[in-house]
Amino acid sequence: MDALWVRISYNIEKRLKNEEERIMAIFKGAGVAIVTPMNEDMSVNYEKLEELVEYHVNNGTDAIIICGTTGEAATLTHEEHLDTIKACVQYAKKRIPVIAGTGSNCTETAIYLSQKAEEYGADGLLVVSPYYNKATQEGLVKHFTAIAESVSLPIILYNVPSRTGCNILPATVAKLFKNVENIVGIKEASGNISQVAQVMNLTDGKIDLYSGNDDQIVPVLSLGGIGVISVLSNVAPKETHDIVAKYLAGDVHGSLELQLKYLKTIDGLFSEVNPIPVKRALNMMGMNVGTLRMPLSEMSDDKAAVLEAEMKKVGILK
């Protein structure tokens, strides 16, 4: 009987410990979806990447998301992808979390990238839904489960159907969250606030919810979100941090004021396909992050002029 109680107590303590560990988010606040700077020959500019990491560490950014959409991961070779993750982890020096984008439309490739990112010391993974081949919801469950079971790092799902052609439905998110221990969060970039609300309802408000759209930070926070994975943070790191920090501290009005202040700047940053405008914006700021890899092309001058004017209005540019 004593042995039975010991075993029961152990299992209860283990379950409580797991629940406590799951409560701990990878980060709260504004994580930057950082650009990948390029040299003139289109190779990755690691020296400039180190400068960008220092810039974000010193200006209030709460996490760095490396090799995501904004980081032009789709045009990096596997070797470049992994070298960029490794370099970012080394530059961050554990001062802020580094979350590696390791998604792919090939499950085995995603597993490989995820395992290497874990080996290099990443703090978490951002895994986008498979693009182009458009898996069924059951296929998504199998895909994400296989990736999660191959690593021990916490995973944030990334739902961006406008790019992938594949929507991770709320019921699928809930199934993954409840059944796969290290799937802990979601970056929701569907733009569908009703869907976001349903995700939170089906996960009992426990999933770590991040806005994937800079113009919806406050609405997502109001549904129980804990942050944003942001393009705006590239050019306004402190201000984007403050939108979240003010809301979480109870200053909803102050948070909303900042959200609305930067709305037109956000529009400019998405007036052409991301990351075309944000790279142009950083170059306007003197960051010299280089150009874009094909098939992306430089921003049109008329839209760049509008973006520049908006950045001046809010004080990002002098």
Among 46, 158, 210, 247, the one annotated catalytic: 158
Compute, in degrees rounded to 10, the torsion defined by CA atoms 56, 60, 66, 70. Answer: -90
Active-site residue, 86 included: no
Active-site residue, 246 included: no
Both tokens assigned to 61: 């950014």
Which residues, in sequence order, are CB contacts of 67 under 8 Å at separation 6+?
36, 73, 76, 81, 84, 85, 100, 101, 102
Q: How far apart are CA 215 and CA 212, in angstroms?
A: 9
Q: How far apart are CA 22 and CA 73, in angstroms?
A: 28
Which residues, in sequence order, are CB contacts of 21 under 8 Å at separation 6+?
none
Q: What is the Cα Rg of the chain in Å?
A: 20
Among 86, 116, 187, 246, the one annotated catalytic: 187
Q: How far apart are CA 75 and CA 158, in angstroms?
A: 19
DSSP letters of 116-176? HHHHHT-SEEEEEPPPSS---HHHHHHHHHHHHHT--S-EEEEE-HHHHS----HHHHHHH
Q: How far apart are CA 234 and CA 165, in angstroms?
A: 26
Q: Give the active site residues.
A: 158, 187
